[in-house]
Amino acid sequence: MKLGEITNYLESIAPLNYQEDYDNSGLIVGDPNMEIRAALVALDCVEKIVDEAISTGCNLIITHHPIVFKGLKKLNGKNYVERVVLKAIKNNIALYAIHTNLDSIHTGVNARICERLGLTGTKVLSPKAGLLKKLVTYCPQAQAEQLRSALFYAGAGNIGNYSECSFNADGFGTFKGNEESDPFVGERGIRHREAEVRIEMVYPTQAERKILVALFENHPYEEVAYDIYKLENKHQLVGSGMVGWLEYDMDGYDFLHLVKDRMQARVVRHTEVMNKRIKKVAVCGGSGSFLLREAIAAGADAFITADFKYHEFFDAEEKLIIADIGHFETEQFTSNLLLEIIQKKFTNFAIRLTEQNTNPINYLF
């Protein structure tokens, strides 16, 4: 199988434009045209992961965390990042990372945490803006249905759980072609009036090229009139963190024990356990302190995440319980998620989970 087939599929699930500005998701090492024999999935790409790929015959490593976050100015093996990249290149192993773009989708990392905690009625905690645009075009009434169908097929008109969404208004357009024109209706040099439909559709920015191709290939006019608007609407299925509900409300300490057990956390750092029941819970895989205000605003009784600093615990102000269970612990089930995503599409592809524990943090009890 070509590497590009795998990466294109992953990016159809978690588009690269969903990642945060600081991130480096995507193909880090490798040629999209290279043949992939087998893939190894892990949370982190460190030297022992590359060694495992070599020993198991895998020439693709898919990880959540990118091995390269910042630009590399030299490749001389001075640090573990350079050594990993050098060893991968030397052994013709491709490296691919799917990080904050996988965090951002509503079926991604945070959804897996919610599943393990048994949360229902989940939704994205902090939806992203700037991911949607609107196409407006004008088409003769007789050809409007064909054009709508083509645009839907190309990816336009999806809003939340609904597809094939459009707004249509009847009107008329006028035009006069010059001597070089070849009008679909009317005659050169004569102003023509045509009954038309104004068609409006929302679409994700990453689908724009495909949608415009569909527009030009299926619109009957020689010159297609269309407008594109950038929307400030937030994409309700894409963003940071998630929030949902426990089946039953719980005592604070009982809830923390549930979290420790379900998330297989060795340590739970938490704020004061207040005299209130826990029912609504916010989560964020990895470093989630930036979402504390959103969790409080959402009315969460508890916020499960990692990497809170000492003074940030004070910011809870007894409005909820912060439970910091560790960065690795919040994301350790991401590898299983990736395995399931890939196996669902490529049922006969050789893919395996790492047998290595890449958590760099150890605990002394």
Share of the chain above pLDDT 90, in %: 96
Residue 29: strand, helix, or coil: strand
Q: What is the pLDDT of residue 145?
A: 97
Average pLDDT, the chain: 96
Query: What CATH number does domain 3-103+331-353 carry, 3.50.30.30, 3.90.1150.10, 1.25.40.80, 3.40.1390.30?
Result: 3.40.1390.30
Distance of CA 183 to the CA centre of its chain: 43
Residue-wise pLDDT tens digits, 192-216 = 999 999 999 999 999 999 999 999 9
Question: What are the sequence ranges of the domains in the chain?
Answer: 3-103+331-353, 105-127+239-324, 131-231
Beta-strand (E) ranges in 88-220? 94-97, 120-129, 132-140, 167-175, 192-204
Q: What is the pLDDT of residue 142?
A: 95
Check: CB of residue 271 under 8 Å from CB of residue 253. Answer: no
301-310 burial string, b = 16+ CB within 10 Å, else e? bbbbbbebee
Q: Is the pLDDT of residue 72 over 90?
A: no
Query: Residues within the annotated binding site for a divalent metal cation?
Result: 64-65, 103, 327, 331
Residue-level pLDDT at 309 = 97
For residue range 9-64, list pLDDT tens digits in order.
Answer: 999 999 999 999 999 999 999 999 999 999 999 999 999 999 999 999 999 999 99
Whether the pLDDT of residue 238 is over 90: the answer is: yes
CATH, domain range 105-127+239-324 = 3.40.1390.30
pLDDT value, residue 160: 86
Annotated binding site: 64-65, 103, 327, 331
- The DSSP bridge partners found for residue 351 are 39
SS3 344: helix
Do the domains at 3-103+331-353 and 105-127+239-324 have one common CATH topology? yes
Determine the pLDDT at residue 73. 87
Beta strand pairing call for 269-270 and 192-204: unpaired
pLDDT tens sequence across 135-160: 999 999 999 999 999 999 999 999 98
Site of tokens 């991604």: 108
In what helix (H) or strand (E) does residue 126 lie, and over which residues does it extend?
strand 120-129
Task: HSE, CB side, 13 Å, CA atoms: give it for residue 62.
Answer: 26
Q: Whole-model pTM?
A: 0.92
CATH of domain 131-231: 3.30.70.120
User: Amino acid letter at 64?
Assistant: H
CA dist., res. 240 & res. 128, Å (int): 8
Copy the structure tokens of residue 287.
Answer: 């470093």
- Predicted confidence band of residue 365 (pLDDT cuts 50, 70, 90): confident
- Token digits for 33? 């045209």
pLDDT tens per residue, range 276-300: 999 999 999 999 999 999 999 999 9
Q: Report pLDDT for 71.
A: 81
Residue 336 has pLDDT above 90, yes or no: yes
